[in-house]
C-alpha cells in the first residue's frame, strides 16, 4: 500500500497496513505533511495504531517515530486521548506473562514505556487513567506480584513519576544535584530531568548539564575551546549550525554503511498516465514502498576552517554540540524527492507520465546531493520499469476500422524504449526495458464484425383432429453470415536510431507494432425447427342395449393421434471474414552514430 493509497482509505486498518511494510515512512502520521498522510486521528485510528504495534504488525522503531510525529503535530487536547490509549495498553501488557519470556513482547512494551517516559513535558492523558495505572503498579510492586521484567518497567515508571514532582531518589532536584550528575557524566538521569521535571527552568538547567557533558566529550577542539558560546547556541537553536558562507564546502563523502541503498521499480498505469514507484532490496524478496533517506551520520563534509568532517545536524533532542550542516542546506536533485519537515528526504510514490519519461533518461535512479547549492556527492540506485500493459487501440464500433496511430519511438538509453502513441482519444506513453520489449505491443486493431443473426424458428405443426396425428413442425430458417471484421488502422512510426543498428531496430519494431484486422463476426445459428403439432384426442366407444337385451356397439371409438415430428433446424450462416491489417510505415532517421 502506497502512502497515496493510505490517504485515500484514511482508516486505522489502512494505516496499519502501510506501516507494516518495509521502508514505510512515518511522515504518513504527520497531519501537516506535504506528502500523503492520514487526515485526522479518530478513536479507531488511535486504537488500530496501538494494537498494530502491540500485535507485532508494526515495527516498534517505526511506530515510535510515527507517534512522536503525531504528538508533536497534534493539538494537545487531541494528543491526550492517545496517551490514555497507551496507558491502557501498557497496563494490559505489563500483566501479560509472555513479557517474562518473549523478547519481542518485552521490546514492544519497552517502546510504550519509553514513549510515555519521554513524552513532551506537560502533555498527558486523563488524570484518573494515569493515577489508576500508577496505583496499580505501586501495589503490584509492593506485593511482589510482577515478574523480573515487569518489575524493571514498574520501578522505572514509579521513579520517573517522582521526577515529575521535582524529586529523585527521595531528594529534591536542585542545581547541586545536577552538577554532581554532570560531573559523573550521568546523562541518563539528567535526560529524565530534561523530560520530566515540572518547571521549564529546571528542565533547561538539566539540559545545560547534559550539554556540558557532551561538550567535554566533543572531538572538536573548537567546541571545547568555545564551550560557553556553544552551550548558548545549542540552548537557543538546538544545534551548532555552520554558516556555509564562512566555511565553504571542500569535499564530501557518503558513508556506505549508513546510506540507504535500494533499487526502484516503476509500475506504469498507461491508460491513466501515471505510475507507482516501488522499491526492492537485495536483502528482501518483496517489493515495498520507497524508503526515506536521512543523511545524518551518512553524509560527511569537509568545510573550510573546521577541524573535522561534519554531518547533517541531529534532532535538537540529541543535544549534539558538533558543528553541523543544517538540513535545509542539503538538497537532493531528483524530481520526485522532497525534504520532509524533519529534514529527511522522501519520494512521491505516485508520479505523472512526464516524470516517468524523465526518469527513463538515466540508467540509474540518480540522487545527486548538494550542500549549500554545490554538488557534494551522488547516490545511484538501480532503476527498472515493469513491463506495462500493451498499448492496444480498437476500432470504435463493430466492424469499424482500427484507429490511425502515430507512434514515436525513442531510446533514452541503450537498454530502454519509450513509446508515445497518439490516437484519436489522446496520447499515451509507455517506457519499456529492452529486455521486455519483445513482450510489449502497440496495436491498432479493427473492431470485430457483427455476429450473424439467428435464423427464424420454424412454425409449430397443426394439431391433429380427433383420433389423428399432429402435423410436422415447420423447418427453422437459415442463420445469416457474420459480418466482416474491421481493418487494422494505419500506423506511422517515427524515431531515430544509430546508423548501424537501424535495420535491427526496425525489424524488432515490426514484430511489436502491429496493425491487426478485427475478427469476423461469428456465424448466425440456424433457427430451431418448429415443434410438431399435438396428436388428436381419442374417442371412447359407444353402445346401446337392443330390445333383446343385447349390447350393440354403435361406435368402436379410437385411440389418440401421435404428436407430429419437430421441424428440422435451419442451416447456420458462415462466419464473417477477418479484417485486413492496415499499413504500418516506419520512418526512422539514422543519427549517424554507431
Partner 1 sequence: MVVLASVRQACSLTLGVLLASVGCATPYAYSFRLENQEARPAARPEQRDVAADADVRAEILVDPTGARAILLDLTNKTDQVLQVEWGQITMIRSDGSSTSPRPHVDLGWILPGATINARLVPFALPPAGDRAASYQGSRFELVIPMIVRREPKLYRYSFTVSVHSM
**Which residue is it, cell 543523511?**
295
Contact positions with partner 1 (CB under 8 A) in 192-231: 192, 213, 216-219
Nearer to partner 1, 230 or 463 (CB): 230
Answer yes or no: are the C-beta atoms of 386 and 268 closer than 8 Å.
yes
Contact positions with partner 1 (CB under 8 A) in 65-94: none
Contact positions with partner 1 (CB under 8 A) in 169-188: 181, 184-188
Contact positions with partner 1 (CB under 8 A) in 483-512: none
**Which residue is it, cell 522522501?**
346
Please select the residue that binds partner 1; options are 100, 164, 263, 386, rule is CB under 8 A. Answer: 100
Answer yes or no: are the C-beta atoms of 549 and 574 closer than 8 Å.
no
Contact positions with partner 1 (CB under 8 A) in 510-539: none
Cα distance from N-terminal residue to C-terminal residue, the chain: 44
Whole-angstrom distance, CA of residue 137 vs CA of residue 80? 21
Whole-angstrom distance, CA of residue 213 vs CA of residue 147? 35
Please select the residue that binds partner 1; options are 39, 104, 199, 559, rule is CB under 8 A. Answer: 104
Whole-angstrom distance, CA of residue 120 vs CA of residue 197? 11
Q: Which three cell numbers stand for residue 516?
A: 491487426
Nearer to partner 1, 46 or 65 (CB): 65
Contact positions with partner 1 (CB under 8 A) in 319-378: none
559 CB-near residues (< 8 Å, 6+ apart):
467, 538
Minimum Å gap between C-beta 310 and partner 1 is: 13
Write each residue from 224 to 263 as x if it is in contact with partner 1 (CB under 8 A), else as -, in one continuous string: ----------------------------------------
Nearer to partner 1, 59 or 331 (CB): 59
Minimum Å gap between C-beta 448 and partner 1 is: 55
Minimum Å gap between C-beta 117 and partner 1 is: 11
Please select the residue that binds partner 1; options are 23, 51, 78, 102, rule is CB under 8 A. Answer: 102
Please select the residue that binds partner 1; options are 101, 361, 374, 583, rule is CB under 8 A. Answer: 101
* Rg, Å, the chain Cα set: 41
Write each residue from 114 to 153 as x if it is in contact with partner 1 (CB under 8 A), else as -, in one continuous string: ---------------------------------xxx--xx
β-bridge partners, 417: 432
Q: Is 99 in the site for partner 1 (CB under 8 A)?
A: yes
Whole-angstrom distance, CA of residue 332 vs CA of residue 223? 29
Which range of residues in 106-114, 325-333, 410-418, 480-488 is near partner 1 by CB under 8 A?
A: 106-114
Whole-angstrom distance, CA of residue 404 vs CA of residue 444? 7
Q: What angle do CA 162, 164, 170 make, to 5 degrees?
A: 30
Nearer to partner 1, 158 or 465 (CB): 158
CA dihedral defined by 97, 100, 104, 110, rounded to 10 degrees?
100
Query: What is the DSSP annotation of 128-165?
Result: HHHHHHHHHHHHHHHTT-S-HHHHHHHHHHHHHHHHHT
Q: Which residues bind partner 1 (CB under 8 A)?
A: 99-104, 106-107, 110, 147-149, 152-153, 181, 184-189, 191-192, 213, 216-219
Amino acid at each position: 500500500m502506497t502512502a497515496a493509497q493510505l490517504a485515500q482509505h484514511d482508516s486505522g486498518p489502512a494505516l496499519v497496513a502501510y506501516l507494516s511494510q518495509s521502508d514505510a515512512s512515518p511522515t504518513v502520521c504527520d497531519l501537516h505533511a506535504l506528502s500523503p498522510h492520514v487526515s485526522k486521528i479518530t478513536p479507531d485510528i488511535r486504537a488500530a495504531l496501538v494494537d498494530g504495534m502491540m500485535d507485532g504488525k508494526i515495527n516498534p522503531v517505526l511506530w515510535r517515530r510515527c507517534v512522536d510525529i503525531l504528538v508533536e503535530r497534534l493539538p494537545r487536547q487531541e494528543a491526550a486521548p492517545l496517551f490514555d490509549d497507551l496507558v491502557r495498553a501498557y497496563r494490559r501488557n505489563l500483566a501479560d506473562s509472555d513479557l517474562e519470556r518473549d523478547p519481542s513482547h518485552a521490546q514492544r512494551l519497552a517502546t510504550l514505556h519509553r514513549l510515555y517516559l519521554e513524552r513532551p513535558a506537560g502533555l498527558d492523558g486523563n488524570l484518573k487513567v494515569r493515577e489508576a495505572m500508577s496505583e496499580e503498579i505501586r501495589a503490584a510492586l509492593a506485593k511482589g506480584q510482577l515478574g523480573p521484567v515487569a518489575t524493571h518497567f514498574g520501578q522505572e515508571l514509579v521513579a520517573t513519576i517522582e521526577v515529575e514532582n521535582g524529586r529523585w531518589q527521595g531528594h529534591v532536584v536542585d542545581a547541586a544535584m545536577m552538577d554532581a550528575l554532570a560531573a559523573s557524566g550521568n546523562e541518563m538521569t539528567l535526560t529524565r530531568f530534561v523530560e520530566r521535571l515540572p518547571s521549564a527552568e529546571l528542565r533547561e538547567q538539566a539540559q545545560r548539564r547534559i550539554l556540558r557533558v557532551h561538550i567535554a566529550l566533543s572531538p572538536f577542539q573548537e567546541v571545547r575551546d568555545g564551550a560557553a558560546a556553544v552551550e548558548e547556541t545549542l540552548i537557543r537553536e538546538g544545534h551548532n549550525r555552520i554558516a556555509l558562507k564562512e566555511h565553504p564546502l571542500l569535499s564530501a563523502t557518503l558513508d556506505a554503511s549508513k546510506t540507504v541503498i535500494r533499487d526502484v521499480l516503476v509500475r506504469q498505469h498507461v491508460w491513466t498516465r501515471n505510475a507507482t514507484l516501488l522499491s526492492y532490496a537485495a536483502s528482501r524478496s518483496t517489493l515495498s514502498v520507497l524508503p526515506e533517506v536521512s543523511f545524518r551520520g551518512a553524509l560527511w563534509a569537509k568545510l573550510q576552517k573546521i577541524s573535522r568532517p561534519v554531518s547533517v545536524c541531529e534532532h535538537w533532542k540529541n543535544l549534539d554540540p558538533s558543528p553541523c550542516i543544517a538540513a535545509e542546506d542539503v538538497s537532493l536533485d531528483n524530481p520526485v524527492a522532497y525534504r520532509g519537515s524533519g529534514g529527511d528526504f522522501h519520494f512521491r510514490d505516485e508520479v505523472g507520465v512526464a516524470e516517468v519519461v524523465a526518469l527513463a533518461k538515466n540508467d540509474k535512479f540518480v540522487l545527486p546531493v548538494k550542500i549549500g547549492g554545490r554538488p557534494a556527492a551522488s547516490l545511484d540506485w538501480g532503476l527498472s520499469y515493469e513491463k506495462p500493459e500493451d498499448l492496444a487501440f480498437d476500432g470504435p464500433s463493430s466492424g469499424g476500422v482500427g484507429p490511425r496511430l502515430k507512434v514515436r519511438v525513442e531510446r533514452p538509453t541503450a537498454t530502454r524504449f519509450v513509446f508515445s502513441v497518439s490516437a484519436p482519444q489522446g496520447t499515451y506513453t509507455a517506457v519499456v526495458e529492452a529486455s521486455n520489449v519483445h513482450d510489449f505491443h502497440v496495436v491498432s486493431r479493427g473492431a470485430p464484425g457483427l455476429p450473424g443473426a439467428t435464423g427464424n424458428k420454424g412454425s409449430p405443426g397443426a394439431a391433429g383432429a380427433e383420433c389423428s396425428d399432429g402435423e410436422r413442425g415447420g423447418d427453422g430458417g437459415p442463420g445469416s453470415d457474420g459480418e466482416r471484421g474491421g481493418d487494422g488502422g494505419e500506423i506511422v512510426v517515427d524515431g531515430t536510431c544509430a546508423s548501424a543498428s537501424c535495420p535491427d531496430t526496425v525489424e524488432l519494431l515490426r514484430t511489436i507494432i502491429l496493425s491487426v484486422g478485427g475478427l469476423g463476426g461469428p456465424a448466425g445459428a440456424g433457427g430451431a425447427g418448429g415443434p410438431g403439432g399435438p396428436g388428436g384426442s381419442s374417442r371412447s366407444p359407444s353402445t346401446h342395449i337392443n330390445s333383446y337385451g343385447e349390447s350393440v356397439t354403435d361406435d368402436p371409438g379410437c385411440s389418440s393421434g401421435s404428436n407430429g415430428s419437430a421441424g428440422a433446424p435451419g442451416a447456420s450462416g458462415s462466419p464473417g471474414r477477418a479484417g485486413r491489417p492496415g499499413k504500418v510505415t516506419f520512418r526512422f532517421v539514422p543519427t549517424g552514430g554507431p
